[in-house]
Chains A and B, each alone.
Chain A
Amino acid sequence: EDKVVQSPLSLVVHEGDTVTLNCSYEVTNFRSLLWYKQEKKAPTFLFMLTSSGIEKKSGRLSSILDKKELSSILNITATQTGDSAIYLCAQSYNTDKLIFGTGTRLQVFP
């Protein structure tokens, strides 16, 4: 059974649209929830969330954690073609490893 589940799997939008990506995780040994952006190769770090209800923001991207619902969302406002990528959610445990979801593929068209 998948421990980190992302939805939707794929999203196609036009520039300027706002998108919301979802991630659900399991509670066992939860330490933090991370979001990464994967373009051609390496996942690049976006956010790390440990506390519920506190929004993290970076430019047009923001993310929030809901520990009651065991979920997180990543919002991107005023999307640009450069936002096209796979967005990965990962749960960090009380050990070292990250467990990744399958990712959401976002395509932004002009």
Chain B
Amino acid sequence: EPEVTQTPSHQVTQMGQEVILRCVPISNHLYFYWYRQILGQKVEFLVSFYNNEISEKSEIFDDQFSVERPDGSNFTLKIRSTKLEDSAMYFCASSGPGHIYQETQYFGPGTRLLVL
């Protein structure tokens, strides 16, 4: 069964450093998403991406964040200057044709980011 994959599984960084989180969505999916989950809190929507542009973003997704689909398979989330409060699990998700529920978002295993 096709899966969303994410790398790295864990990342530790110093405050102020840039990080890039990588995702490979399910092939032939057209819609891509990033969510985050701070430890002990809800899963929160960050951004959605379709047709090579952001279709929606949350208040959390400020100028420090950016997304890109640099080639036909990868989808990345960049945090330009990390803050302590960016420490969280970051999930990538994708949706699109090929499933019974075209709108259903399928999640990757996550990248745990720790900012020191």
Binding site for B on A (CB under 8 A): 31-32, 34, 36, 41-45, 48, 88, 90, 92, 95-103
Contact = CB atoms under 8 A, between A and B. Distances in A.
3 tightest A-B CB contacts, nearest first: A96-B48, A97-B45, A100-B43
Main secondary structure of the interface of A (DSSP, over half): strand
B106 interface: yes
Nearest to B3: A42
Contact of B31 (A31, A88, A96, A102): A96
Interface centre among A32, A43, A45 (most CB of B within 10 A): A43
Interface stretch (B13-21, B50-58, B66-74, B76-84): B50-58
B82 to A, nearest CB: 21
Interface size class of B (residues with CB under 8 A): 20 to 34
Nearest to A31: B103
A42 B91 contact: yes
B15 to A, nearest CB: 25
Contacts of A41: 89, 109-110
B107 interface: yes
A30 to B, nearest CB: 13
A44 B107 contact: yes
B33 interface: yes
Contacts of B43: 43, 88, 90, 98, 100
Contacts of B101: 48
A40 B2 CA distance: 19
Interface string B11-49: 000000000000000000001010100000111110010
Nearest to A2: B42
A41 B37 CA distance: 10
